[in-house]
Structure 1
Amino acid sequence: MSIEPTLSWYLALAPEIGLAILLVAVQVYSRVLSSDRQRNVGLMTAWGALVLLLGTLGLWFFAGEPNTQASLGESLIWGGMIRHDLITMVFRVIFLSALITTSLISLDVKRLQTIEYYALLIMATMGFSLMGASADLIMLYIGLEMASISSYVLAGFAKTEDRSPEAGMKYFVYGAFATGLMLYGMSLVYGLTGQTNLYLIGDMVVRIPTAELAESQGNLQMVADIQNINAVLLIAAAMIIVGFGFKISAVPFHFWTPDVYEGSPTPFTAFVSTASKAAGFAVFMRVFTSGMLNFIPSATGQPGQGTAWWPMLVSMCIITMTIGNFAAIYQRNIKRLLAYSSVAQAGYAMIGLVTLTPDGSGATMFYLLMYVFTNVAAFGVIIIISNVSNSEQMEDLYGLNKRSPYLALVMLFALLSLGGIPPTAGFLGKFFIFKAAVDAGYWWLAMIGILNAFVALYYYLNVIKYMYLYDSDQQDVAIPVSRGAWVGLGVSTAAIIYLGVYAGPAFELTREAAVSFFSLVGFGG
């Protein structure tokens, strides 16, 4: 691969470079604003992220960047540290969309009207974006730490509240432990191969001869060596799965989720539940489909079943869906309910990835895209209500339809989308994922997902019942909503409806990204 930087190399990092410029710009802008106008920093962050989002899409539509016809070597840039492909672009769209909507719903939270909050949001977005583009273990770790450290601070940002510092500390402790295990797993892979590039590692791993072949040649020492190498790779895979499972809140690495979601500032909860989850899935796609962890098709042609780590992922997928949904039923705090809902949603998204097919990965990316708008809409309504009630209990939603019909309507669409009810984006998101599982031969996995979706409907419809059928003691208390918040909620709701009615272009983009990626790493498609 070439090591001489070209114009396309800089265009490939344009969103990250733009975020770095935006980070400096908002800090300069904050210094010239008076203390009572710091709210405008949030507006500048949202506008800046929107410009970067349009620029990212513009490079794709008008300049052909990234180039879908590029070979694997051509798409690996900056010394093989970055992979510039359609998957990178799709995840950048997800991260920038999360930054825009989170900035808008943060505008009316007084304690968040500071430059530090928005600077940390931008820094976390840069980290997530680098994670989604990384093709090297070193770059992956740099992006992970950039995002994680910013997130730890943001979780404990509300220093005057008891729960926020606790949430920040729990997030930090769990995150440090999970990251440490993942880093140790990566070091084992490096120790075996002497490489940090995912594709060079994958090329070396798939060339390891089988123990059966060595045994047929009568080389018993080679048999022992191969068995030892495979054992170390399995241990490394398990450790890397720990870090991946933490980022997406998969069971059994989900324990931090309800406490951190409840204690963190609500806008950041919306951000971490979407952008962080998407980054975790981006890492999964890069690592587990690069050949790095010994992809071996079974004799029947079913992908993944010949590997020792595939049953681990399927088990995590099923348990994550089930525990998340059943735990959510018993929650009385709306943020904790959505936290366990987020755990269950991670299980649904994993269905697409464990199929190890282009359709499955494309469906997962579409699911993550629609999940950004769905979750931001739900948490945006919670922010506005909690500004009045100073709590996030289920009772605060009683009679919301009478107090604010439009807020109730936004929450209705968000909950219907999370439950997978047409004509919302969540319905098509689940449909694409379950269809990909059935097409790959895993109809039983799709059936488990469908049954879990019916369980989830119970607690989603319960919240809708509270909003429309119950009366509130504060029915006469007005719920003020700023113009910026309305824009954020309006955009999110419009996206939920649009992606639920006309999802074709978005899904074709995500599927094209997956097909291009899989064909280059040798899976076909």
Structure 2
Amino acid sequence: MTTSLISIDWRVLAPVLAPALGALLVLIVDALAPRARGLHLPIGLAALGAGLGGLPYAVTTATATRTLCLPGPDGRCFYETGPTGLTLQLIALAGSLLVLLMLGPGTRHLDRIQRGGPAVTVALVLAATTGAAMVVAARDLPTWLVAIELATLPAVALVALSRGRGAEGGALSLLMVSLTSFALLCVGIGLWVLATGDVSFSTDTLRVAFDYPERHRVLLLAILFLLAGLGFKLSAVPFHTWTPQAFVVADEPIAAYLATVSKAAAVGAAIVILGPLVSVTAAGSDDGDSIRLVIGVLAAASMTLGNLLALRMDDPVRLLAWSTIGQAGWVLAPLAMLTPTAVSASVAYLLVYVVGSLAVFAVTAAVHPRAEGAGERSLTAYLGLARRSPLLAIVLGLGLLTLAGLPPAVLGVVAKIVAIAPVVATGQWWLVAVLVANIVLGIAVYLRWLLYAVRPAPSITPGDTAESAPAPRLDPGLRIALLLLAAALVLLSLVPGLALGLAR
């Protein structure tokens, strides 16, 4: 459909429109038929499935797919998706679908862990997913800012509605961080417009700004503020303190959403900012070196502090929170190199991290089925898991080995190599040394948890062990999510090039 002012291709917009319309439909159904509580989750799953179904249309052309374009051959487009953007949309939509499966398919589990009813929870997940899918394709600053906040604020509400002890405090911490991040992003956007005279992320105007010393300094300050604002959303050190506070008070599927889909939105937002810089700094200017140093320091600090503190955690969700901080460093490290190959490597690593993390979170949701809060979970709950529930032990092992980068999870090994390769190619040897050291730390973090699952449980009374206890009862949706994640980990380990090809 084409109007006199702007051209719109609705099929290209399907990954964004489908979850948005799904959220609206859920609220309408809840208003018209409040007793039809069993419809909300199927509507949410169908909406996310429709969004996933719209992704192949955007890859039928060799170049980036664009829409919302001004008229004329040189008209600017405000929505653009390339291979990396499509992969990030795939991560957001598929990750949200798996989170909804963990929460369903009925309403009993949702009522037990979330206040407000299934309609509110499903609508919030769909709204946040809309923002995550939109931010990676937005090419103008106002839409980009709205999208990144749309991906964040519903997540705050999801944490606040959790029934775990201290949920309000965790949500307040996340809200304060979100407001601080929003303020920094607003300042950064204002400085960007002042330096470039443009309200879009355009390579041409950015190159002009770099050529003028006065604009140049303002632009570098703008990039610093924007990176700081996104650092909060990425859980990068030193903007990470909200992460363990919010994770441990939320239900496991909600914490999984924060660790995966929210991170995909933040990475997408960072790529939109850094994309124009890739071509501008390709000549190897000092500005490229300074930006690489800033992002590289963030990456090194995040992975080192995250792994060191994860080693000390006994609460599995708190351990995963610090693991998320550490993995944020691995996503940032190749992105800091400011090359097209590095951007693809960052997205490929993010894809592997999301699959592995969702698998581990799904197991924690099965092992801790109640609304447990801070200090109520322990790694000792996993003693004897291999005998009590082989399915959970297998999925947990695959997920942890993928995050650690150890065989037989070949996918994790390849992801580590792919993340290190751009850093080596750029000659940032200090960062290479940090990455290698954190491989060792990460192995210690994840193998420590895995040893609990394979270790025999101690006897409680003569003839009675934890291994003789019944296996955790799995809701149908959670069982489906576990099987899908196990299949994905096995397939991608057998054919790791599939994950790399999606990002390229």
Structure 2 counterpart of 1:493: 486
Q: 1:506 aligns with which of 486, 499, 503?
A: 499
The 1-side partners of 2:326 and 2:266 are apart by 15
Residues 342, 5 of structure 1: CA spacing in aligned structure 2 closer, same or farther, 3 A cutoff? Answer: same
Q: Say whether residues 1:133 and 2:148 are aligned partners.
A: no
Q: 1:281 aligns with which of 252, 267, 288?
A: 267
3-state SS of 1:198 partner = coil
- 1:68-467 pair list within 5 angstroms: 68-69=62-63, 77=69, 80-107=77-104, 108-109=109-110, 110-112=112-114, 114-158=118-162, 160-199=163-202, 202-208=203-209, 226-291=212-277, 295=281, 297-298=283-284, 306-387=288-369, 390=372, 391-424=376-409, 425-467=411-453
Cα shift at 1:352: 1.7
Bigger shift: 81-90 or 274-283?
81-90
Residues 3, 503 of structure 1: CA spacing in aligned structure 2 closer, same or farther, 3 A cutoff? Answer: farther
Structure 1 counterpart of 2:44: 45
What letter matches 1:178 in structure 2? S
3-state SS of 1:22 partner = helix
The 2-side partners of 1:281 and 1:205 are apart by 21
The 1-side partners of 2:357 and 2:126 are apart by 19
Cα shift at 1:295: 2.9
What letter matches 2:378 in structure 1? Q
Residues 69, 293 of structure 1: CA spacing in aligned structure 2 closer, same or farther, 3 A cutoff? Answer: closer
The 2-side partners of 1:18 and 1:504 are apart by 29
3-state SS of 2:136 partner = helix
**8 Å Cα contact 2:383/2:456 also seen in 1:** yes
Structure 2 counterpart of 1:223: none
**8 Å Cα contact 1:137/1:197 also seen in 2:** yes
What letter matches 2:192 in structure 1? V
TM-score w.r.t. structure 1 length?
0.85
3-state SS of 2:277 partner = coil
Task: List per-residue Cα deviations over 1:272-306 (Å, max 9, x = no partner).
Answer: 1111111111111111221399636337xxxx764
Cα shift at 1:138: 0.6
The 2-side partners of 1:19 and 1:88 are apart by 17
**8 Å Cα contact 1:190/1:196 also seen in 2:** yes
- 1:24-39 pair list within 5 angstroms: 24-30=24-30, 38=37
3-state SS of 1:251 partner = coil
**8 Å Cα contact 2:195/2:216 also seen in 1:** no
The 1-side partners of 2:7 and 2:280 are apart by 33
The 1-side partners of 2:32 and 2:413 are apart by 46
What letter matches 2:218 in structure 1? V
3-state SS of 1:387 partner = coil
**8 Å Cα contact 2:15/2:50 also seen in 1:** no
Residues 103, 389 of structure 1: CA spacing in aligned structure 2 closer, same or farther, 3 A cutoff? Answer: closer
5+ residue gaps, structure 1: 211-225, 512-525
The 2-side partners of 1:166 and 1:502 are apart by 43
The 1-side partners of 2:279 and 2:241 are apart by 27
Cα shift at 1:32: 7.1
Residues 498, 442 of structure 1: CA spacing in aligned structure 2 closer, same or farther, 3 A cutoff? Answer: farther
Cα shift at 1:478: 3.9
Cα shift at 1:447: 3.5
3-state SS of 1:11 partner = coil
CA root-mean-square deviation: 2.5
The 2-side partners of 1:29 and 1:95 are apart by 24
What letter matches 2:26 in structure 1? V
What is the aligned residue count? 479
Structure 1 counterpart of 2:477: 484
What letter matches 1:343 in structure 2? I
Structure 1 counterpart of 2:463: none
The 2-side partners of 1:26 and 1:338 are apart by 31
3-state SS of 1:82 partner = strand
Bigger shift: 377-386 or 47-56?
47-56
Task: List per-residue Cα deviations over 1:492-513 (Å, max 9, x = no partner).
Answer: 11111211220223312312xx
Cα shift at 1:227: 4.3
3-state SS of 1:81 partner = strand
The 2-side partners of 1:251 and 1:161 are apart by 26
The 2-side partners of 1:60 and 1:70 are apart by 8
The 1-side partners of 2:322 and 2:329 are apart by 11
3-state SS of 2:314 partner = coil
Residues 114, 51 of structure 1: CA spacing in aligned structure 2 closer, same or farther, 3 A cutoff? Answer: same
5+ residue gaps, structure 2: 71-75, 461-465
The 1-side partners of 2:259 and 2:236 are apart by 12
Structure 2 counterpart of 1:519: none
Structure 1 counterpart of 2:73: none
The 2-side partners of 1:102 and 1:22 are apart by 16
Residues 405, 272 of structure 1: CA spacing in aligned structure 2 closer, same or farther, 3 A cutoff? Answer: same
Residues 250, 389 of structure 1: CA spacing in aligned structure 2 closer, same or farther, 3 A cutoff? Answer: closer
Task: List per-residue Cα deviations over 1:72-129 (Å, max 9, x = no partner).
Answer: xx66736632223333322111111111110011123433351100100000000111
Task: List per-residue Cα deviations over 1:408-448 (Å, max 9, x = no partner).
Answer: 11111111111011232222211211123223333543342
